[in-house]
């Protein structure tokens, strides 16, 4: 029982971290049809800048806010100078965002050197909870709570606000949205910055969780996030949330019971979903929520 | 006075020279119908006005203000409502959400416009919380027209509203469009001559990217030769 609950908690918390990365990816794809391979670069910048700010200031909240700010600034630069010139051209997007990913990952080493960096937990999140003799690590609960709150906030943003309505309409028909007087370029930028901020936040939350950050982790998590986006259905926020949990939980159990196979697992999940439902779990044309 | 003026528009789609010097004007308070066979360039004309396919030469003026060359969303905000040929329905949004979206950047009396549309098209009120994608073809067309009217302020561009609808539905729609003339100027693209000639004040006929005829609808109805030559009506 203890093992089961712990694996579940691990799986859900990892899943929600992946979700933070996948949420931006899926919305950016849904609205702009852009596959942003540089997304993982924003994640790793969030992880490093968060870890660094935490070390310097000893304030975890400041670290998170700083990481999000760094992510959004980099996201703005990316959207404005790399992606905007190649809207509508998938091959160029692929090349240029992959290039962006490499530049973002490698430039980490200029600032923080080539070696992994250790990251500590903030004091107020150290330790664990005990329920009926089952020990659950505090930080994981924290990640779950934050992840769920963010999911809720995103869902409210998309389903209850005017800008959310515009985004959902934009996912369905960009031209018609423009014909209603709405500046779609502005919407693109908003969604891109939102996605960038979430990716950086994911990185900043992951750093103390894994205890160590390294430049290549961006690619590693970006691949997971891409798998999640495809399993969940491109453009669907709920689909990505569901798929993140599946990938996270399945990964945690596999790593424990069949560690040799855990790498193959995601590919297997992907293959099964694509065979059974090629549009992904909740991928229906046009439901961004 | 003409509300909308197209002056010598030349529009290319890719390498194809589609509009080859199109000039038209739409009088305020009128229904002006643009006829022409399939592929004549009617849709491209409306898309050029909306800024989706900008012209390489020529200009579009609305209220004597140049609107060619500016982005679509700003053209829309001048008060031009647009009903595209494929209706452009946001299938996953409800009727309510669609019309609220239409209000978001609209000018003028948006509440009044909304109320009037629900009066004119009671089905929209009935299916207020239904997903637009689940509406019937006729209801989708009503939604597209209501959305454009609420969003616009003074001019409606409607691209072949009769497409794919039953004769009864077409008749109902044409009646509604005629009623809407009280409050807005309309540029209507149609192939259904019988219906459109009943409600139109002026007409233009387009062929191969050029305007080949224009005038009062009344005169066209009597001009059997032109009708036969360009509209295939005996
Ligand atoms: N994206 C495009 N690229 C190249 N040519 C196009 C494109 N879209 C339309 N065309 C061509 O432009 C011409 C005019 O098309 P348009 O849609 O404006 O005609 P239309 O008068 O609206 O016809 P219909 O009555 O069939 O709707 C046609 O010959 C069409 O084949
Ligand atoms: Mg057409």
Give the domain ranges of chain B.
2-231
Give yes or no for A162 touching B (CB within 8 A): yes
A75 min Cα distance to partner chain B (Å):
24
Residues near ligand 1 (Cβ within 6 A): B 13-14, 16, 18, 36, 38-44, 85, 191
Interface test with B, best of A173, A181, A183 (most B CBs within 10 A): A181
How far lies B181's CA from each of A132, B61, B109, B156, in Å?
A: 74, 21, 17, 10
Tell how far CA A72 is from the center of its chain. Answer: 14
| Cβ–Cβ below 8 Å for A173 and B90 | yes
Which among B50, B52, B101 has CB closest to A169?
B101
Question: Which residues 6+ apart lie within 8 Å of A270 measured at CB?
Answer: A227, A230, A231
CA distance B178 to B181: 5
pLDDT band at B88 (very low <50, low <70, confident <90, very high): very high
Instruction: Using a CB cutoff of 5 Å, list residues around ligand 2, an ion.
Output: B 42-43, 85
**SS3 (DSSP) at A213:** strand
pLDDT band at A32 (very low <50, low <70, confident <90, very high): confident
User: What is the B160 CA–ligand 2 centroid distance (Å)?
Assistant: 7
What per-residue confidence (pLDDT) applies to A283?
75
Strands B185-189 and B57-62: unpaired
CA distance A14 to B52: 44
Res. B101: pLDDT tops 80:
yes
Residue closest by Cα to atom 31 of ligand 1: B39
Q: What does the mean pLDDT of chain B come to?
A: 95
- Mean pLDDT for A242-250 is 94
Give yes or no for a contact between B189 and B46, defined as CB atoms under 8 angstroms apart: yes
State pTM to two decimals: 0.91
Find where tokens 């996030």 sit. A225
pLDDT band at B234 (very low <50, low <70, confident <90, very high): low
pLDDT band at A289 (very low <50, low <70, confident <90, very high): low
CA distance B26 to B116: 24
pLDDT band at A280 (very low <50, low <70, confident <90, very high): confident
Res. A287: pLDDT tops 60:
no
Interaxial angle between packed helices B110-120 and B137-151, expressed in degrees from 0 to 180 and rounded to the nearest 10: 160
pLDDT band at A284 (very low <50, low <70, confident <90, very high): low
Burial of A200 (0-12, 13-18, 19+ CB in 10 A): buried
- Mean pLDDT for A105-111 is 94
B96 compared with A266, residue with greater pLDDT: B96
- Among 3.65.10.10, 3.30.70.1230, 3.20.20.70, 3.40.50.300, what is the CATH number of B2-231? 3.40.50.300
pLDDT in tens, A134-163: 889 999 999 999 999 999 999 999 999 999
Q: For chain A, list the domains and their CATH numbers.
A: 2-276 (1.10.3470)
pLDDT in tens, B186-219: 999 999 998 999 999 999 999 999 999 999 999 9
What per-residue confidence (pLDDT) applies to B128?
98
What backbone phi and psi angles, to 5 degrees, belong to B26? Answer: -115, 120
- Mean pLDDT for A124-131 is 90
| Cβ–Cβ below 8 Å for B101 and A183 | no
pLDDT in tens, A180-218: 999 999 999 999 999 999 999 999 999 999 899 999 998
Pocket probe for ligand 1: among B10, B24, B40, B46, the residue whose CB has the most ligand atoms within 8 Å is: B40
What per-residue confidence (pLDDT) applies to A81?
93
pLDDT band at A88 (very low <50, low <70, confident <90, very high): confident
pLDDT in tens, B12-62: 999 999 999 999 999 999 999 999 999 999 999 999 999 999 999 999 999
Whether ipTM > 0.90 holds is yes
Look at residues B201, B88, B190 and name the one whose alpha carbon lies nearest to residue B146. B88
Buried b (16+ CB within 10 A) or exposed e, A139-151: bbbbbbebbeebb
Res. B4: pLDDT tops 60:
yes
| Cβ–Cβ below 8 Å for A165 and B82 | no
pLDDT band at A288 (very low <50, low <70, confident <90, very high): low
What per-residue confidence (pLDDT) applies to A89?
86
What per-residue confidence (pLDDT) applies to B229?
83
Q: What does the mean pLDDT of chain A come to?
A: 91
What per-residue confidence (pLDDT) applies to A87?
83
CA distance B8 to B55: 9
pLDDT in tens, B13-22: 999 999 999 9
- Mean pLDDT for A166-189 is 94
- Mean pLDDT for A225-250 is 92
What per-residue confidence (pLDDT) applies to A269?
87
Strands B57-62 and B65-66: antiparallel
CA distance B214 to A30: 44
pLDDT in tens, B114-161: 999 999 999 999 999 999 999 999 999 999 999 999 999 999 999 999
Burial of A29 (0-12, 13-18, 19+ CB in 10 A): buried
CA distance B138 to B154: 24
């Amino acid at each position: 029982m203890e093992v089961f609950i712990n694996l579940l908690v691990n799986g859900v918390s990892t899943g929600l971290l992946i979700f933070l990365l996948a949420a931006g990816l899926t919305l950016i794809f849904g609205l702009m049809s852009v596959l942003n391979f540089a997304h993982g670069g924003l994640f790793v910048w969030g992880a490093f800048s968060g870890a660094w700010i935490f070390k310097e200031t000893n304030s975890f909240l400041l670290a998170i806010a700083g990481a999000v700010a760094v992510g959004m600034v980099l996201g703005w630069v990316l959207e404005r100078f790399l992606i905007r010139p190649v809207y509508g051209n998938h091959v160029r997007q692929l090349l240029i965002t992959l290039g962006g990913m490499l530049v973002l990952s490698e430039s980490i080493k200029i600032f923080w050197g080539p070696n992994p960096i250790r990251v500590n937990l903030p004091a107020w999140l150290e330790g664990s909870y005990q329920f009926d003799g089952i020990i659950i690590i505090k930080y994981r609960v924290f990640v779950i709570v934050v992840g769920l709150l963010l999911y809720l906030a995103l869902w409210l943003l998309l389903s209850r606000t005017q800008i959310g309505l515009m985004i959902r309409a934009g996912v369905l028909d960009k031209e018609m949205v423009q014909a209603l007087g709405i500046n779609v370029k502005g919407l693109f930028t908003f969604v891109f910055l939102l996605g960038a901020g979430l990716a950086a936040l994911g990185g900043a939350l992951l750093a103390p969780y894994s205890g160590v950050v390294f430049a290549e982790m961006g690619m590693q998590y970006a691949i997971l996030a891409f798998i999640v986006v495809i399993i969940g259905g491109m453009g669907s926020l709920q689909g990505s949330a569901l798929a993140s949990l599946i990938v996270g939980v399945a990964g945690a159990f596999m790593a424990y019971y069949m560690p040799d196979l855990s790498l193959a697992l995601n590919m297997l999940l992907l293959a099964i979903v694509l065979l059974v439902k090629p549009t992904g779990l909740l991928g229906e044309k046009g439901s961004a929520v | 006075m003409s509300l909308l003026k197209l002056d010598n528009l030349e529009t290319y789609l890719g390498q194809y020279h589609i509009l080859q010097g199109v000039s038209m004007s739409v009088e305020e308070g009128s229904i002006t119908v643009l006829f022409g066979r399939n592929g004549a360039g009617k849709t491209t004309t409306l898309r050029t006005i909306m800024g989706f396919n900008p012209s390489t030469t020529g200009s579009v003026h609305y209220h004597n203000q140049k609107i060619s060359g500016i982005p679509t969303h700003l053209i829309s905000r001048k008060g031009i409502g647009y009903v595209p040929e494929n209706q452009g329905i946001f299938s996953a949004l409800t009727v309510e959400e669609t019309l609220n979206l239409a209000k978001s950047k609209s000018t003028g009396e948006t509440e009044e416009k909304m109320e009037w549309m629900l009066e004119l098209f009671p089905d929209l009120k009935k299916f207020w919380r239904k997903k637009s994608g689940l509406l019937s073809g006729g209801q989708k067309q009503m939604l597209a027209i209501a959305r454009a009217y609420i969003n616009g302020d003074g001019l409606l561009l409607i691209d072949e509203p009769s497409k794919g609808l039953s004769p009864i539905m077409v008749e109902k729609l044409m009646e509604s469009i005629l009623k809407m003339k009280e409050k807005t100027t309309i540029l209507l693209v149609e192939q259904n001559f019988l219906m459109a000639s009943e409600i139109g004040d002026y007409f233009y006929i387009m062929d191969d990217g050029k305007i080949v005829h224009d005038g009062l609808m009344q005169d066209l109805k009597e001009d059997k030769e032109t009708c036969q030559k360009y509209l295939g009506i005996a």
